């Protein structure tokens, strides 16, 4: 595993990265809590992928690059600019929810203000959209990039291949990401695809594919940094596969103990990437345990405040059901 110092990021940036990682975890824990006490009806987590998502997202310019995420990418959306309150508003289905104003299920992140494009639930349909975004950049002669993510299960959809094929043909500034957490709900990778790495597929489309350990903050960051530089300078797309854990069940409606052994789950939890990251931060002298604990308290307070504020916001008016079916 590479040292954090090798990332080339400043101390402030590394500390900010840790704040985002921890906020992602604590916020997701809050979303589960709200589901369990019956205040919200659904959650689907990125727990286990926070370090990878923060390292990925930090390589982009959030005020100009366009993000087309999938449902586990809450932490990356936070780095892109969404707030804890924005996310909780979505879970409550409030009118002020920037993702969908209470129209989509929770975890379908989007924000016009923050260049995050809304996505459908029919997995991976955002991939062809990302090529459209990237084609727009090419047409306009601008140097913004499209980043789009999906899971390894969803990556088997035909539209993913169609999108990567076209991106290769046109050398589009788009970065495709597969967050490989080994399970498509309950289906293990052995039943999902036959090649060793998902990233191998990129070679068939004429561009580079890279597999990275999602627990290695520096490696993920540097990989994306280079991909961003290449895409911005007209060298075309990349496929980056992030090997991550899925610490939780697929969603609030799933129970992974049915199809994963207790030992397997325990073993995975013992190597939680946040623990690995924290050890690196201490070992390299970025933060002390006391400083991390203090930051955790601040994050918890921020999320408490965001929860209270979001819950107090108005629900969508029933008659708004018919708004924006068509343009006026």
Partner 1 sequence: MAEMTYLEAINLGISEEMARDEKVVIFGEDVGGDKGGVFGVTKGLAAKYGDNRCFNTPLTEGLIGGLAVGLGVMGYRAIGEFQFADYILPATNQILSEARTMRYRTKGDWTAPIVYRTPYGGGVRGGLYHSQSTEKIFAGQPGLRVVTPSNPYDAKGMIKAAIRSDDPVIFYEHKRLYRLLKAEIPTDDYIVPIDKANVVREGSDITVISYGMMLQYAISAAEKLAKEGIDAEVVDVRSLYPLDRETLVNAAKKTGKVLLVTEDNKEGSIMSEIAAMISEDALFDLDAPIKRLAGPDAPSMGYALTLEREFLVNEDQVIEAMRELAEY
Q: Compute the residue count for the chain.
A: 328
Beta strands 187-188 and 183-184, pairing class? antiparallel
- By rule CB under 8 A, what count of residues binds partner 1? 45
Q: Which of 35, 47, 91, 118 binds partner 1 (CB under 8 A)?
A: 118
Check: CB of residue 80 under 8 Å from CB of residue 242: no
Nearest 5°: CA angle at 51, between 22 and 178? 135
C-alpha–C-alpha distance, residues 279 and 273, integer Å: 10
Check: CB of residue 185 under 8 Å from CB of residue 246: no
Q: Which of 2, 32, 42, 128 binds partner 1 (CB under 8 A)?
A: 128
- DSSP-derived secondary structure letter, 45: -
SS3 letters across 185-238? CCEEHHHCCCCCCHHHHHHHHCCEEEEEECCCHHHHHHHHHHHHHHHHCCCCCE
C-alpha–C-alpha distance, residues 22 and 26, integer Å: 6
Tokens matching residue 326: 């068509």
Residue placing its CB nearer to partner 1 in the complex, 96 or 265: 96
Closest distance between partner 1 and the C-beta of residue 166, in Å? 5
Q: Which of 10, 12, 37, 112 binds partner 1 (CB under 8 A)?
A: 112
- Which one, of 171, 174, 63, lies nearest residue 128 by Cα? 174
Taking the chain, what is the end-to-end CA distance rounded to the nearest angstrom?
Answer: 55
Q: Is 319 in the site for partner 1 (CB under 8 A)?
A: no
Residue placing its CB nearer to partner 1 in the complex, 154 or 218: 154
* Residue span binding partner 1 (CB under 8 A) among the ranges 127-135, 186-194, 233-241, 283-291: 127-135
Q: Is 326 in the site for partner 1 (CB under 8 A)?
A: yes
Q: Which of 100, 186, 251, 256 binds partner 1 (CB under 8 A)?
A: 100
Q: Which of 122, 233, 257, 289 binds partner 1 (CB under 8 A)?
A: 122
* Residue span binding partner 1 (CB under 8 A) among the ranges 55-63, 124-132, 212-220, 282-290: 124-132
Residue placing its CB nearer to partner 1 in the complex, 16 or 165: 165
User: What are the strands, taking DSSP E only, across the chain?
Assistant: 66-68, 146-151, 174-180, 183-184, 187-188, 208-213, 238-243
Residues 130 to 189: which contact partner 1 by CB under 8 A?
130-139, 146, 158-159, 162-163, 165-166, 169
Residue placing its CB nearer to partner 1 in the complex, 142 or 203: 142
Closest distance between partner 1 and the C-beta of residue 172, in Å? 10
Cα Dmax for the chain = 59
Q: Is 91 in the site for partner 1 (CB under 8 A)?
A: no
Tokens matching residue 258: 């049915």
Give the three-state DSSP class for 89. Answer: helix
Q: Which of 46, 48, 69, 98 binds partner 1 (CB under 8 A)?
A: 98
Q: Is 231 in the site for partner 1 (CB under 8 A)?
A: no
Q: Is 46 in the site for partner 1 (CB under 8 A)?
A: no
Q: Could you tell me which residues are beta bridge partners of residue 188? A: 183
Binding site for partner 1 (CB under 8 A): 66, 98-101, 103-104, 108, 110-112, 117-118, 120-122, 125-139, 146, 158-159, 162-163, 165-166, 169, 320, 323-327
């Amino acid at each position: 595993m590479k040292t954090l110092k090798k990332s080339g990021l400043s101390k402030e940036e590394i500390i900010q990265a840790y704040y985002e990682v921890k906020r992602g975890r604590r916020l997701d824990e809050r979303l589960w809590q709200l589901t369990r006490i019956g205040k919200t009806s659904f959650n689907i987590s990125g727990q286990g992928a926070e370090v990878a998502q923060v390292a990925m997202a930090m390589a982009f310019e959030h005020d100009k690059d366009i993000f087309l995420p999938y449902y586990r990418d809450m932490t990356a959306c936070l780095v892109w600019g969404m707030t804890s309150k924005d996310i909780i508003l979505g879970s409550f289905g409030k009118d002020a929810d920037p993702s969908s104003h209470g129209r989509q299920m929770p975890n379908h992140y989007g924000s016009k203000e923050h260049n995050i494009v809304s996505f459908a639930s029919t997995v991976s349909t955002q991939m062809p959209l990302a090529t459209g975004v990237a084609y727009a950049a090419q047409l306009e002669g601008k140097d913004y990039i499209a980043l789009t993510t999906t899971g390894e299960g969803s990556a088997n959809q035909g539209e993913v291949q169609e999108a990567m094929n076209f991106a290769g043909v046109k050398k589009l500034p788009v970065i495709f990401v597969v967050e490989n957490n080994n399970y498509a709900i309950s289906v293990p990778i052995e039943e999902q695809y036959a090649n060793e790495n998902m990233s191998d597929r990129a070679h068939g489309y004429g561009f580079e594919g890279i597999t990275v350990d999602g627990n290695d903050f520096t490696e993920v960051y540097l990989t994306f940094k280079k991909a961003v530089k290449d895409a911005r300078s007209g060298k075309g797309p990349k496929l980056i596969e992030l090997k991550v854990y899925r610490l939780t069940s697929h969603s609030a409606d799933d129970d992974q103990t049915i199809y994963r052994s207790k030992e397997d789950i325990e073993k995975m939890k013992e190597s939680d990437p946040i623990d690995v990251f924290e050890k690196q931060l201490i070992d390299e002298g970025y933060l002390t345990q006391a400083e991390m604990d203090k930051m955790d308290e601040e994050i918890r307070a921020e999320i408490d405040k965001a929860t209270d504020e979001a819950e107090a916001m108005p629900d969508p008016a029933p008659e708004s059901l018919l708004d924006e079916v068509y343009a006026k």
